[in-house]
Amino acid sequence: MDKSSLQRDSFGSKFGVIAAAAGSAIGLGNIWKFPYITGVYGGAAFIVVYLICIVLIGFPLMLSEFLIGRKAQKNAIGAFKKLAPNTPWFLTGWIGVAAAFVILSFYGVVAGWCMEYIFKAAANTFAGQSPDQIGGIFGGFISSASKPIFWQIAFMALTAWIVVAGIKDGIEKYSKVLMPMLLVIIIILDIRAITLPGAEDGLAFLFKPDWSKITGEAVLAALGHAFFSLSLGMGTMITYGSYISKKENLGETAIQVTIADTSIALLAGIAIFPAVFAFGIEPNVGPGLVFVTLPNVFQQMPYGHVFGILFFVLLAVAALTSSISILEVVVAYFAEDLKMSRKKATIIAALIITVIGIFCSLSNGPLAEAKLFGLAFMDLLIWCSDNLLLPLGGLFITLFAGWYMKRSSVEEEVKAEGVKAGYFGAFIFLTKFVAPILIALVFLNGIGLL
Ligand code: PFF
């Protein structure tokens, strides 16, 4: 072990590892995106396909990332340089760092919307407004020039403030508080939702599959979402894996994080759809589901604004524990490989991302007509991460763990006491064959070749 790896910061406890990694996975993807794409693709059948994707691709890819990171004790780019010196594999890490810039730029914008909505809910802005007016409030807000940028900058400052403090005293410390808080809030919202009169229709929508709704497009959307939701394909879990102590059982950790992420997505669906159905609103409205449909639902409920505040606090907290993990991918690289101090690395990375994010925000309003490849800037970044960077990064990571790394060194990281040989064999089979083939399909489809 070289000197620098001896001095590396690391997670201090098992709960800290789970809180931080689950904190990364659980985010806007679970609470904002999962419900609306489930709504668009028809409910329960989509969820079943999503669960299959999680098992066949999500889990093996997460474990691959953890093991690469822990073996190398390095950031996303440095890990490939160390494990595969003098080969082009380090480009996989570059895809990850590029994805971090791209994703956090738009993620910070949407997280900023959540912060504004905490205040809107607290001020009871939606009371007595018609659905059209509530839609107008959202449209007016995201397309205005300064307010969304103000919140995006505030959110990025908060993210940077946590990351600068380091792994144990920053990321782990805050995740350990914020994640239990998130769980309590979502359970309160779930209880409220399932006790609404007429909640059954919403639950049926979530849990009774109608297989006729499953199309090729739905399967690919499920697969793409599995990546985003589990924070995979861009080295986030490589970076976090490098901070996990050798004592921890990586397979068990990957299973726990995957289950936590999936459970929260389902709990978010349970908080949202019963209310949507109870108030006779269509479930398939798309991205506006939580910013337009839900305020409309809340304002019809007794004490709705209190539930509204709780809901948007939940979203902002979930977004924060994810955004710190995205920023950490860049900061770890800047600090370790470019030899910057952690503070300087964080400030530079956060500043660049904030500036790109400002253009994302403006592309919902003043710059909406400035299209690149036919898309507004923010949509272009979302397209690039969903269809290009994450699938490509994920593909190379599974190929690296499944084919490039020696079986013995993979085994050394993954095999812990009590792990049966059969489980290890299944992981290798998924990583070598199943995951890369399925990911290649998403990729080819995403770029329009399939
Ligand atoms: N998993 C996060 C979510 O579901 O919101 C988003 C995310 C975080 C994506 C970290 C990628 C990442 F590296």
Tens digit of pLDDT for each residue in 273-292?
998 898 888 898 888 889 99
Nearest ligand 1 atom to the CA of 318 is 5
Under 8 Å between Cβ of 450 and 444: yes
Residue 443: pLDDT band (50, 70, 90) is: confident
Longest dimension (CA), the chain: 65
Question: Which of 90-94, 385-389, 404-408 has the lowest average pLDDT?
Answer: 385-389
Under 8 Å between Cβ of 278 and 199: yes
361 lines ligand 1 (CB under 6 A): no
Residue 299: pLDDT band (50, 70, 90) is: confident
* pLDDT (mean) for 394-408: 97
Q: 371 in the Ramachandran plot: left (φ > 0), alpha (ψ -120 to 50) or beta?
A: beta
Write out the E strands in 187-236: none
**pLDDT value at residue 213:** 86
> Alpha-carbon distance 159 to 233, whole Å?
21
11 lines ligand 1 (CB under 6 A): no
pLDDT digits (tens, 9 = 90+) for 225-275: 999 999 999 999 999 999 999 999 999 999 999 999 999 999 999 999 998
Mutation pick for ligand 1 pocket among 171, 326, 388 (CB with most ligand atoms within 8 Å)? 326
25 lines ligand 1 (CB under 6 A): yes
398 lines ligand 1 (CB under 6 A): no
Structure tokens at 218: 């739905």
Sign of the dihedral defined by the CA atoms of residues 373, 376, 382, 385, in that order: positive
> Alpha-carbon distance 395 to 220, whole Å?
15
> Alpha-carbon distance 159 to 144, whole Å?
23
Strand partners for 372: 375
> Alpha-carbon distance 204 to 55, whole Å?
24
User: Atom 11 in ligand 1: which residue has the minimum CA distance?
Assistant: 231
323 lines ligand 1 (CB under 6 A): no
Kindly state the DSSP code that residue 30 receives in the 8-state scheme.
I
Distance 420 CA to ligand 1 centre (A): 31
**pLDDT value at residue 61:** 98
Distance 255 CA to ligand 1 centre (A): 17
Taking the CB of residue 9, how many other CB atoms lie within 10 A of it?
Answer: 17
Q: Which CATH class is domain 3-446?
A: mainly alpha
Helix intervals (H) in 303-341: 304-336
Distance 34 CA to ligand 1 centre (A): 12
Q: What is the ipTM of this complex?
A: 0.99
Residue-averaged pLDDT of the chain: 94
* pLDDT (mean) for 33-57: 94
Q: Does the structure show a pLDDT above 90 at 410?
A: yes
28 lines ligand 1 (CB under 6 A): yes
pLDDT digits (tens, 9 = 90+) for 150-209: 999 999 999 999 999 999 999 999 999 999 999 999 999 999 999 999 899 999 999 999
> Alpha-carbon distance 112 to 301, whole Å?
25
**In the chain, what are the helix, strand and coil shares in percent, each to the nearest 5?**
75, 0, 25
**pLDDT value at residue 65:** 98
Task: Please state the pTM of the whole predicted model.
Answer: 0.95
* pLDDT (mean) for 413-430: 88
**Which run of H or E residues covers position 225?**
helix 216-229
Distance 227 CA to ligand 1 centre (A): 8
What is the Rg, in whole angstroms, of the alpha carbon atoms belonging to the chain?
A: 21
**pLDDT value at residue 6:** 47
Q: In this structure, which amino acid lies at residue 90?
A: F
Under 8 Å between Cβ of 72 and 334: no
> Alpha-carbon distance 126 to 312, whole Å?
14
Q: Does the structure show a pLDDT above 70 at 319?
A: yes
* pLDDT (mean) for 379-398: 95
Distance 231 CA to ligand 1 centre (A): 4
Residue 450: pLDDT band (50, 70, 90) is: confident
Q: Does the structure show a pLDDT above 80 at 399?
A: yes
114 lines ligand 1 (CB under 6 A): no
Distance 352 CA to ligand 1 centre (A): 19
User: Atom 9 in ligand 1: which residue has the minimum CA distance?
Assistant: 231
Name the residue among 300, 259, 304 with its Cα closest to residue 277.
300
